[in-house]
Chains A and B, each alone.
Chain A
Amino acid sequence: MTDKTPVEYIIETVDLHKSFGNLHVLKGVSERVRPGEVVSIIGPSGGGKSTFLRCLNLLEIPERGHIFIHGVDITKKGVDVNLHRRKMGMVFQLFNVFPHLTVEQNITLAPVLTKKSTEKEAKEAARALLSRVGLYDKLNEKPGRLSGGQKQRLAIVRALAMEPEVMLFDEPTSALDPEMVGEVLDVIRELVHGGMTTVIVTHEMGFAKEVSNRVLFMDDGVIAEEGTPDQIFNNPRNPRTREFLSKVLQ
Chain B
Amino acid sequence: MLERIVIIWTGYWKMFLGEGLAITLSLSATTVVFGAIIGSALALMKMCRILPVRWIASAYIEVIRGTPMLLQLYFFYFMIPNSFVLTLFGWVHKLMILFGSEVTQRDFVKFMCIAIALIINSSAYVSEVIRSGIQAVDRGQTEASRSLGLSGKQTFFRIVLPQAVKNILPALGNEFVMIIKDTSLASTFFIGDLMSVYNVVRGKTYLVMEPLIVVAAIYLVLTYVLSNLIAAWERRLKKGD
In the bound assembly, the distance between CA atoms of A97 and B163 in angstroms comes to 12
A147 within 8 A of B: no
Q: Could you mark each residue 201-241 of chain B with 1 if its beta carbon is under 8 Å from any beta carbon of chain A, else 0?
A: 00000000000000000000000000000000000000011
In the bound assembly, the distance between CA atoms of A92 and B151 in angstroms comes to 19
- Determine which of A82, A88, A144, A155 lies in contact with B241 in the assembled complex, contact meaning CB atoms within 8 Å: A144
Give the number of residues in A that approach B within 8 Å (Cβ atoms).
26
Whether B163 contacts A82 by the Cβ 8 Å rule is: no
In the bound assembly, the distance between CA atoms of A92 and B144 in angstroms comes to 8
Interface positions of B from 130 to 177, Cβ below 8 Å from A: 138, 140-141, 143-151, 154, 158-159, 162-163, 166
In the bound assembly, the distance between CA atoms of A112 and B96 in angstroms comes to 45
Whether B241 contacts A109 by the Cβ 8 Å rule is: no
- Determine which of B138, B141, B148, B159 lies in contact with A158 in the assembled complex, contact meaning CB atoms within 8 Å: B148
Give the number of residues in B that approach A within 8 Å (Cβ atoms).
20
**Residue of B with least CB distance to A144:** B241
Given contacts A59-B143, A100-B162, A100-B163, contact A142 B240 (CB under 8 A): yes
Contacts of A181 in B (CB 8 A): none
Q: Could you mark each residue 71-112 of chain A with 1 if its beta carbon is under 8 Å from any beta carbon of chain B, else 0?
A: 000000000001101101110101011111000000001100
In the bound assembly, the distance between CA atoms of A77 and B138 in angstroms comes to 28
Given contacts A99-B241, A109-B158, contact A94 B147 (CB under 8 A): no
In the bound assembly, the distance between CA atoms of A119 and B24 in angstroms comes to 47
Whether B154 contacts A113 by the Cβ 8 Å rule is: yes
- Determine which of B144, B149, B154, B158 lies in contact with A96 in the assembled complex, contact meaning CB atoms within 8 Å: B144
Whether B149 contacts A85 by the Cβ 8 Å rule is: yes
**Residue of B with least CB distance to A111:** B148
Contacts of A92 in B (CB 8 A): 140, 143-144
Whether A162 contacts B144 by the Cβ 8 Å rule is: no
A150 within 8 A of B: no
Q: Could you mark each residue 21-50 of chain B with 1 if its beta carbon is under 8 Å from any beta carbon of chain A, else 0?
A: 000000000000000000000000000000
- Determine which of A90, A113, A114 lies in contact with B147 in the assembled complex, contact meaning CB atoms within 8 Å: A90
A133 CB to nearest B CB, Å: 17
**Residue of B with least CB distance to A97:** B144
Whether A85 contacts B158 by the Cβ 8 Å rule is: no
Whether B162 contacts A96 by the Cβ 8 Å rule is: no
Whether A113 contacts B158 by the Cβ 8 Å rule is: yes
Contacts of B159 in A (CB 8 A): 98
Q: Which of B141, B144, B158 has the most CB of A within 10 A?
A: B144
**Residue of B with least CB distance to A57:** B147
Contacts of B149 in A (CB 8 A): 82-83, 85-86, 110, 114, 162
- Determine which of A57, A59, A83, A96 lies in contact with B141 in the assembled complex, contact meaning CB atoms within 8 Å: A96
A117 CB to nearest B CB, Å: 13
Sample of 17 further A-B pairs with CB below 8 A, known A113-B154, A144-B241: A85-B146, A88-B147, A90-B143, A90-B144, A90-B147, A92-B140, A92-B143, A96-B144, A99-B163, A100-B162, A100-B166, A109-B158, A113-B158, A114-B150, A142-B240, A158-B144, A159-B148
Chain A residues in contact with chain B, CB under 8 A?
57, 59, 82-83, 85-86, 88-90, 92, 94, 96-100, 109-110, 113-114, 142, 144, 155, 158-159, 162
State the 8 A-B residue pairs at the shortest beta-carbon distance, nearest first: A86-B149, A96-B144, A90-B147, A110-B148, A96-B140, A144-B241, A85-B149, A100-B162
